[in-house]
Structures are given as structure tokens and as C-alpha cells.
A and B are shown apart, each in its own frame.
Chain A
Amino acid sequence: ETGVTQSPTHLIKTRGQQVTLRCSSQSGHNTVSWYQQALGQGPQFIFQYYREEENGRGNFPPRFSGLQFPNYSSELNVNALELDDSALYLCASSSGEIEQFFGPGTRLTVL
């Protein structure tokens, strides 16, 4: 059974640029959630996708957007990058059951 994978591992961008992060969910999981974890903080919920639709969103501006594909993989897009967007971005997949399984994360640095 393949776990949750994310790409890329690390990424460096400059302010104002756009970035796309990718997540492949664990086999059999149809729900993907994205989290932002700033240094020294707990993860913050960005949004969740279920069957290709966004079905819940945390307190993040519209420049954070996402997609989920028919194979349940997902993308997180961030437009007009700001310095404060520098963080570890985690995705988690689940099958509608209780537990969420986290991927290794993408470390984004905005200069």
C-alpha cells in the first residue's frame, strides 16, 4: 500500500510569483486536506477536497486554491506569493473514516 506522497520536497520562490504543490493520496482514500505549518507553529487547515469538490475551508484568502482529480490526487495553488507564505505545506488523505494520514510535506521558501 502506497502512502501519501507530495512533490516537490523543497521549493524557493520570490514574492508575487505563483506556486503549485502536488499530493497523491493513499490508495483508496477519496478525501484530501491541505495544511500550512509555519515554523514553530501547529498546522493550520487550508481546505479539504472530497470527490473533486472543495467541501470546507479554513481562514485563508482566495489566492489559496486547489484541485482534486478523478484519481483523488490534489494540487494546492498559491498566487501572488507573500513572505508569510513561507512554511511547510502538508497534505493529508482519508477515506471518510476517522484517521487522516499525512504526507512528508513541501517546504516552501518565499524570498
Chain B
Amino acid sequence: ELKVEQNPLFLSMQEGKNYTIYCNYSTTSDRLYWYRQDPGKSLESLFVLLSNGAVKQEGRLMASLDTKARLSTLHITAAVHDLSATYFCAVSGVYSGGGADGLTFGKGTHLIIQP
């Protein structure tokens, strides 16, 4: 069974600081996703990482993937209040039926950035 673990689950930080969210997964997968979710809203795609060593950056967010360690990180640089949200990592898995590429999500990291 594919398991995805994120830590921390809750993070309160000040504006201007840097921090990293970690995502570990239990079995080999060829895709790692990061999503953002605001309260009461749907999921917004941030990054899709496909290969070992992949690094993607958008604004103050940077995601990386180490498939050998089964680890992805989401790094926040010089945090601003607008980045307050819940961040999920997800991994594509194989389910009964065989053909689906449904995602297995972590529990999410609830991020609060205080002025």
C-alpha cells in the first residue's frame, strides 16, 4: 500500500523567513505533485515532478524530488502572508483495476505566515 507522509503537519512562521516542507512516500512512483488548498476551496496545482533530481521554482516556492530517497521538498523563501494555505504532496499510484493513475495524498501541511 502506497503511503505518503508530510511533515510538519502544522507550521507557523513569520514573514521573511525560509522554511521547508518534507514529503516521504513508501513505494516507487514516477510522479510527485504539490498542490495548494485555501480554506473551503479546491486544489490548485503548483508543481509536477517527474524525474530524480527534478527541481521546479515558481516565485517564492521551489520543489525538488529525490526518487532514490523517496523524498520531495517544498521550500519557501522569504515567506509572505499570501502563502498561508494548506499544502499537499501527492504521488500517483496503482489501484485495483490497474489502469488508473489516481493520486495518494499526504495529510497536508497547514501553513500560517504571520506579519
A105 CB-CB contact with B under 8 Å: yes
How many A-B pairs have beta carbons closer than 8 Å: the answer is: 78
B115 CB-CB contact with A under 8 Å: no
Determine whether the beta carbon of A43 is less than 8 Å from that of B95: no
Mark contacts of B51-79 with chain A using CB atoms, 8 A cut-off: 1 yes-contact digit, 0 otherwise: 00000000000000000000000000000
Q: What residues of A have a CB within 8 angstroms of the CB of B108 in the complex?
A: 41-42
Q: How far is the CA of A43 from the CA of B42 in the complex (A)?
A: 10
* Number of B residues with CB within 8 Å of any CB on chain A: 29
* Number of A residues with CB within 8 Å of any CB on chain B: 25
Say how far B30's CB is from chain A's closest CB, in angstroms. 9
Which 5 pairs from chain A and chain B are nearest by CB?
Answer: A56-B100, A42-B105, A45-B102, A55-B99, A48-B100
Residues of A bordering B, CB below 8 Å: 33, 35, 41-45, 47-48, 50, 54-58, 90, 92, 98-105
Residues of B bordering A, CB below 8 Å: 4, 31, 33, 35, 41-45, 48, 50, 88, 90, 93-108
User: What are 17 inter-chain pairs, A to B, with CB distance below 8 A?
Assistant: A33-B103, A42-B107, A44-B105, A45-B93, A45-B104, A48-B95, A50-B100, A55-B100, A56-B95, A56-B98, A57-B96, A58-B95, A90-B43, A100-B33, A100-B103, A102-B44, A102-B45
